[in-house]
Amino acid sequence: MGDSNLSSIFSYIAEGLRERQIAFLSRCETGEDSPLDRRLRTFQGPVFVSNGLSVDDWTRLIRNGIADAVAFGGNYIATPDLSDSIAAGMTFNTPNPPPFCPGNNQNAAAGYTNYPVCSITL
């Protein structure tokens, strides 16, 4: 998304969402520190982050007060034991999004239920 003054626009949006008492704000992240981070906190409700972040990114965003929670989405589908993998310091499986919502002619297991699990038992 682009604009000549993203900071001003997102501040305005965050304040408007707060005034309307929206339950939460969900944002897609790039993993980089953004000047919009503090501006979006004017929303004052729970903020979720998602979209291809690393465990270090998630930790940093929560620790720095930028986010309150993380949505795992495709990472959880691709790594069915994601919490064990995080605890063991394992890498995540690479998601294969096209079969997440298979059509009539697709194998529902391919890319959705056939991912390997962490080999370490915690």
pLDDT digits (tens, 9 = 90+) for 72-110: 888 888 888 888 888 888 888 888 776 666 665 666 566
CB-CB neighbours of 49 under 10 Å = 22
Q: Are residues 65 and 95 in the same domain?
A: no
pTM recorded for the entire structure: 0.66
Radius of gyration of the chain (CA): 17
What mean pLDDT value characterizes the chain? 77
Does residue 95 sit in the same domain as residue 110?
yes
Which tokens belong to 21?
């008492």
Residues 36 and 53 in one domain: yes
As a whole number of Å, the end-to-end CA separation of the chain is 42
8 lies in the same domain as 62 = yes
pLDDT of 69 above 80: yes
Of 33, 55, 71, the domain-final residue: 71
Q: Tens digit of pLDDT for each residue in 9-58? A: 878 888 888 899 888 888 776 555 565 676 777 788 888 888 777 888 88
Q: Are residues 62 and 15 in the same domain?
A: yes
Of 48, 71, 94, the domain-final residue: 71
Q: Which pair of structure tokens corresponds to residue 27?
A: 């944002």
Give me the number of domains the chain comprises: 2
If asked whether residues 91 and 34 sit together in one domain, one would say: no
Rounded Cα gap, residues 55 and 60, in angstroms: 9
Residues with Cβ < 8 Å from 64, sequence gap 6 or more?
37
